[in-house]
Structure 1
């Protein structure tokens, strides 16, 4: 992403005409704001969308929000949200990660991880749903199932909600060092790696993958799906035909996954020192993007069958990306095993961004 002296951070906005069809969540950078930033018709955004600078993020967010709330997309293959306990599998993709070790907390460490992002990613997913953190509470207001009407903006009594993820969400970690990760993996290649991960972890049925999420973490120095200069991360599922390189066949049911680049390589463009200064802020954007894609996956597992803004296509985290110094903006969230920089997510019941929210359901 931007390596110059004045990199800019941008948040996702997608063209109105393609938003519902694509539903792919991203955090991105780009030097200008186009009509895509507000979902205006005729915007020329490509699949990854166009996102505003940090300076304009709040203003564009307010214009985007207006009176709009997230609405239910009716589900894809019967899936809208993760209405069971999320299971997150972190995959370190490619032997460029270097030699593997283990830290005192049982996390995998790697010799080619200059920012030490790998153990922090694992710890963060272990921490979600612990220490009575209420960052996760915002997502529990969303639901799916036959009781929920398409385009609903509230959940009826008896609907299956996203649960509070008590005890953490990390379900497994895999260092796939059998070969090098592609220098610029396509969306299709990342999806294939997610399906391979499902097999590796023994999740070989649709039921096993109903509440599973595979975070495909590419190594330092690579450019997965040509993210450099375009965005910071995205999530999707294997069946999306708009993946670069095409959809991925899965014998194990639908597989939800994310493209998580080593986005510290992009500096401030992907959130280095976004909230905290010095070494304490090196991984600000790293944990924010990990949290962003996780929170969107559990509320829109097979985009865009879950909860999105049907005017702009934005998902819950898109509505609140790269905001700080405002209610519901980025903050340091204390979990049971540490503190992590996270962003707020859109709360339908308050019609605002929220960094914390009481558990619903």
Structure 2
């Protein structure tokens, strides 16, 4: 959205030219389903459905690739990107996940996880930064800190870059079965669960949350923040006053979190069998979504203080690095099967300023 940075998540009726949101982006979400129009919000950085992304792209035909260039937002509370090793915490939110057991790889699994998403999510975050995978390289070109000017489209010498996440990023896993997850948790409720997780993991200071990211995974047959028929996921930080239900007061400093629905419930709209066929493709959209929100969090930790599209009139205005490359297939930087040190996961590319295109792989920049 616009460089009025903290107020980045706006109800559709209040979004318009004054906030710099592209008409193309609004049109895509306006046709995404009645839930989006009545209950959720048009969000900067929301991961659109497959059809929503296709509409944005169709309306952008003829636009120059330079219209996708990202620029630095100046940071919020001094935070732009994760310029230290990311720490990802997976929070399985609500007793509807069912009975917990452990698989041969030490991953939590659940009796009500019919698609087997939970262990795959754990393995994917264990795998990021291992096996010399180059998917993480694209994000390392982005930076923050006092050396980086607001509006910059490249990083000056000496700036603090997103690091290559050597050795994996999974820092903790928690099943919070103390109560049922709400049928349609608000953004505030999801943020409050992330705050609860921060305390659970002992991250009780701003320093311990500077590079932490809490993925709030809602169970099958829930509709967190009314995502169904509207979008596939989003990420944010606690201080966003336009979260549905309001910002989350924190006693642990700023913290980043995401709304990760059980989006296999949305079928092809959120990527089931997007790349691979049959049972091999059941979790295509799941791993794509998890990777999408992770790559955006590490490059835009407190949205939109990090790297976003701020080009007035661009069809991609308000989007983040992964949004600009959402649901591409069979083209440069499109979705592919990425091999990591512990397996292969379906991921999407993200926007690369230095090559002016979407990239599934990239050399590490420091």
Deviation for aligned residue 1:83: 0.1
CA RMSD of aligned residues (A): 2.2
For residues 240 and 233 of structure 2, what CA distance do their matches in structure 1 show? 16
Post-superposition CA distance 1:134-176 (Å, at most 9, x none): 0000000000000000000010000000000000000000000
Aligned partner of residue 184 in structure 2, secondary structure: coil
Q: Which residue of 2 aligns with 1:8?
A: none
Relative distance call for 1:186 and 1:85 in structure 2 (3 A) is: same
Q: How far, CA to CA, are the matches of 1:275 and 1:260 in structure 2?
A: 20
Count, aligned residues: 336
- In structure 2, C-alpha distance between the alignment counterparts of 1:224 and 1:38, rounded to whole Å: 22
**Would the aligned equivalents of 1:61 and 1:320 in 2 still touch at CA under 8 Å?**
no
SS at match of 2:231: coil
Q: Residue 30 of structure 1 corresponds to which residue in structure 2?
A: none
Closer, same or farther in 2 for the Cα pair 1:150/1:343, shift >3 Å?
Answer: same
Q: Using the alignment, how far apart are the partners of 1:119 and 1:195 within structure 2? A: 23
CA contact (8 A) 1:333 1:341 kept: yes
Q: Assess, with a 3 A threshold, how the Cα gap between structure 1 residues 196 and 313 changes in structure 2: closer, same or farther.
A: same
CA contact (8 A) 2:6 2:76 kept: no
1:219-250: CA deviation from partner (whole Å, max 9, x where unpaired): 00101001111111000000000100000001
Q: TM-score of the superposition, structure 2-length normalised? A: 0.87
Measured at CA, do residues 280 and 89 of structure 1 come closer, stay the same or move farther in structure 2, by a change above 3 Å? same
Asked if the contact 2:142–2:299 (Cα under 8 Å) also holds between the matched residues in 1, the reply is: yes
Aligned to 2:16: none
1:336 aligns with 341
Aligned position for 1:66: 65
| Structure 1 unaligned regions, length at least 5 | 1-15, 25-33
Q: Quote the residue 1:196 is aligned against.
A: 196
Q: Report Cα offsets for 1:60-114 as digits up to 9, x if no partner.
A: 4665663231000000000000000000000000000000000011000000001
Query: Paired residue for 2:237?
Result: 237
TM-score, scaled relative to structure 1: 0.88
Q: How does 1:164-183 map to 2 (within 5 A)?
A: 164-183=164-183
Q: Is the CA contact (8 Å cut-off) linking 2:2 and 2:8 kept in structure 1?
A: no
Query: Is the Cα–Cα contact under 8 Å of residues 61 and 319 in structure 1 kept in the other structure?
Result: no
SS at match of 2:66: coil
Structure-2 separation of matches of 1:197 and 1:331: 32
Within-5 A mapping of 1:141-180: 141-180=141-180
Does the CA contact (< 8 Å) of 1:57 and 1:322 recur in 2? no
Residues 314, 20 of structure 1: alpha-carbon distance in 2 compared, 3 angstrom cutoff: farther
The structural deviation recorded for 1:204 is 0.1
CA 1:23 to 1:164, structure 2 compared with 1: closer, same or farther past 3 Å?
Answer: farther
> C-alpha separation between the residues in 2 aligned to 1:87 and 1:118?
18
In the other structure, the counterpart of 1:10 is: none
Indicate conservation of the 8 Å contact 1:320/1:328, yes or no. yes
Check the 8 A contact 1:186/1:224 in 2, yes or no.
Answer: yes
Please say if residues 88 and 169 of structure 1, whose CA atoms lie closer than 8 Å, have aligned partners that are also in contact.
yes
Pairing of 1:1-361 with structure 2 (within 5 A):
16=1, 20-23=5-8, 36-38=23-25, 46-48=41-43, 51=48, 52-53=51-52, 55-56=54-55, 58-60=57-59, 66-68=65-67, 69-311=69-311, 312-361=317-366
Distance (whole Å) between structure 2 residues aligned to residue 231 and residue 64 of structure 1: 24
**Contact 2:206 2:253 (C-alpha < 8 Å) held by counterparts:** yes
Against the structure 1 CA distance between its residues 38 and 183, is the aligned structure 2 distance closer, same or farther, given a 3 Å change threshold? closer
Q: Is the 8 A contact 2:26 2:42 kept in 1?
A: no
Cα distance in structure 2, aligned partners of 1:19 and 1:288: 29
Instruction: Identify the residue that residue 11 of structure 1 maps to in structure 2.
Output: none
Work out the CA distance in 1 between the residues paired with 2:8 and 2:301. 10
Partner of 2:15: none
> Secondary structure of the equivalent of 1:232?
strand
Q: Note if contact 2:135-2:361 (Cα within 8 Å) is conserved in structure 1.
A: yes
* Structure 2 CA distance for partners of 1:283 and 1:221, relative to 1, 3 Å: same
For 1:248 and 1:305, the matched residues in 2 are separated by: 18
SS in structure 2 of the partner of residue 245 of structure 1:
coil
